[in-house]
Amino acid sequence: MNASADTSRYPQIGTLQFEAAIVGTGIALFPLILLAPFAYLTGYFTLEGLLSVLSMPWSYLLLFIAIGAHFLASRAILRSAAAAETAKDLSSRFNMLFIASGIELAAVIGICLVIVIGLARIDFPHIYPITAGFIAAFEMMIMIPFIAKQIHDLERHLKGRFPESGGWLGIRTKLTFYVSTIFSGTCLFLFMTNVTASFVPLTGRSLVLGIVHLNMIACAVALSMVFVLMSQLVSYIINPLKSLVSGFETGAGGDLRARSIPTTTDEIGAAMLSADRFFTGLRSNIGTLKRLLGTLAELRDHLTAQVDTTAKSILQITAVSAQTRDKVDEQAGSVNETAAAIEQLTRNIDSLTRQIEIQSQEVERSGSAMLEMTGAARKMHEATGENAKTTQSLVNLADTNQALIGKMMEEITRISRSSEHLAESNQLIANVASQTNLLAMNAAIEAAHAGEAGRGFSVVADEIRKLAELSTQQSKSISENQKTVVASIHAIVQDSAKVEHAFREMRESVRTADSLNSRMKEYTELTAERSADVSRALTQIGDVTASVLSNSQEMRQGNKEMLEAVSHLRRLTQEINDSISSLGDDISKVSSAGERLRTDNERTVEATGELDTIVSQYKI
């Protein structure tokens, strides 16, 4: 059974002592409490009557029940002794063990006495020693193994509680010896008393009273032996334990100078020697602890200074890190702006390069065009000379045509006047035809009036009328043609005027063209000279353009390298920024660790202060 488990089930020491007293008193009075009512009812309320009641068979059963109950109480007391936590508790439990053993012995003697008294009523005097011997042997067989078992359990549990005592073998041996001596001596004493009583010549009431007196004397002697042996056991076991407890109590009060000098060589002496070594080691440890506390105080002060310095350094590092982050951010902004400017410059250079290439091509084409224009200017100069001659011919031709047109205008005017006379003549013919037609009609009328005589005249008149009608028609046709001719003449006159005006304008234009041709000649000469100058300038521009194009290519390559450098710088800036961020996190962690270290240091200061206060209470 585990000692710790036993401890949880056992009551406190004061309660156990009270229970032991109650159990002992109850067992001592139990026979009288049970038998008194029966003795009163049966009229045996005298010594002889009480002995008669005790001799009844059921009285033995009641007594055996009482003894069994006491066995259980004694076992509980013994088991509670195994739950001792300190030497003081163990001493108290040993006292209870002695009380239980005394009560157990008194109960055994009572059983033997009752049985002997009961058997004395049988008329067989020599039955006393036989019965007493049997009871004594039975009691030894039952009680001694029982007590030995309880002592063994006690030793097993105490060995777990106090391992430095060496197993408690000596105490176990002493307890077993004392208890065995008490029971065996008591049983032997009872046996010898009853054997002696069997040879005393007593009869009747004197026999019973004699046996009772002898057994009472035996009980008194046995109890005296119990108390003497118990006192010896107490002085041998409890007194050294009290000395050990006193040493521990002195040490608990702070005075470690107390010494536990062993007075025995058994386990208690070994326990006292272990306690002395314990206090010696504890004094050494306390002295070492005091020295370590002094060193710890110095380290504590140094650590406090280091923590303060570290906190200041962390604050400075944090400030520098913040400034560095700001500078890195500014540098990152500058790098981004520079990268943007370089990219824009690269785009401008690319655009300029394309424009320069286009300009170079245009210069080449312009050079070719200028060469062609120079040749064309020379040809134009030559053509201008030819144009001057042609223009002069045109001027002369225009003058001649203008004279011819003047003459033609005069003829057309004369024809117009003639056509007007022709119209008058045609009108006259129309009038004559009309009169002729009228006369023919009158002649026909008159011929009709003449009848047959005028028939021939009628035919002539009819022919004349037809002729007159034909003349009228021709006159109308001529008049219409004449009108057409007049209209055409008027149109020709108008067109001739226009032609004349056009010839005059053409003559002016030719003169102007001649003047322009003269200027053109001058201009072509100047253009040829300027074209040569422009051609030379274009050649120089082409050379400069080629040089600029080459330089722009080099600049573009340089910008590309610069852009790569800026990109690398941007990556480095980002890495620096990330490193600063990581450094900020690390600084935060270090700051938190420093704060925790400060808190732990403060707690250490408090703990060392309390420990110093506790250690200073011990006297070494």
Mapped onto helix, strand or coil, the DSSP state of residue 255 is strand
Chain segment 382-427, per-residue pLDDT in tens: 666 666 666 666 667 667 766 777 777 777 777 767 666 666 766 7
- Rounded CA gap, 416 and 591, in Å? 129
Give me the torsion for CA of 563, 565, 571, 573, rounded to 10°: -110
pLDDT in tens, 193-245: 555 555 545 444 444 445 455 555 555 565 566 566 656 655 666 666 667 66
**How many Å separate Cα 213 from the centre of its chain?**
96
How far is 365 from 511, CA to CA, in rounded Å? 38
Q: Minimal CA–CA distance to 555: which of 338, 571, 547, 543?
A: 547
User: Which of 251, 247, 250, 272 has the alpha carbon at shortest distance from 261?
Assistant: 272
- The pLDDT confidence band at residue 84, using thresholds 50, 70 and 90, is low
43: left (phi > 0), else alpha (psi -120 to 50), else beta? left
Alpha carbon distance 46, 39 (integer Å):
8
Q: Which two structure tokens, joined as six digits, stand for 447? A: 């011929």
Cβ neighbors of 450 (< 8 A, separation 6 or more) are 457
Angle at 137 between CA 131 and CA 138, to 5 degrees: 85
Determine the average pLDDT of the residues in 595-603: 72
3-state percent helix, strand, coil for the chain, nearest multiple of 5: 90, 0, 10
Question: Of 613, 28, 158, 162, which Cα lies nearest the Cα of 20?
Answer: 28
255 has which bridge partners? 619
Q: Can you name the residues that pair with 619 across neighbouring β-strands?
A: 255
In the chain, where are the structural domains located? 3-238, 292-616
3-state secondary structure (DSSP) of residue 619: strand
pLDDT(606) > 70: yes
Is the pLDDT score of 541 beyond 70? yes
Structural Rg of the chain based on CA atoms? 83
Distance CA 315, CA 307 (A): 12
pTM of structure? 0.29
Residue of 611, 619, 607, 617 whose CA lies nearest to 289: 611
CB 228 within 8 A of CB 244: no
**Alpha-carbon torsion angle 489, 490, 493, 498, nearest 10:** -130
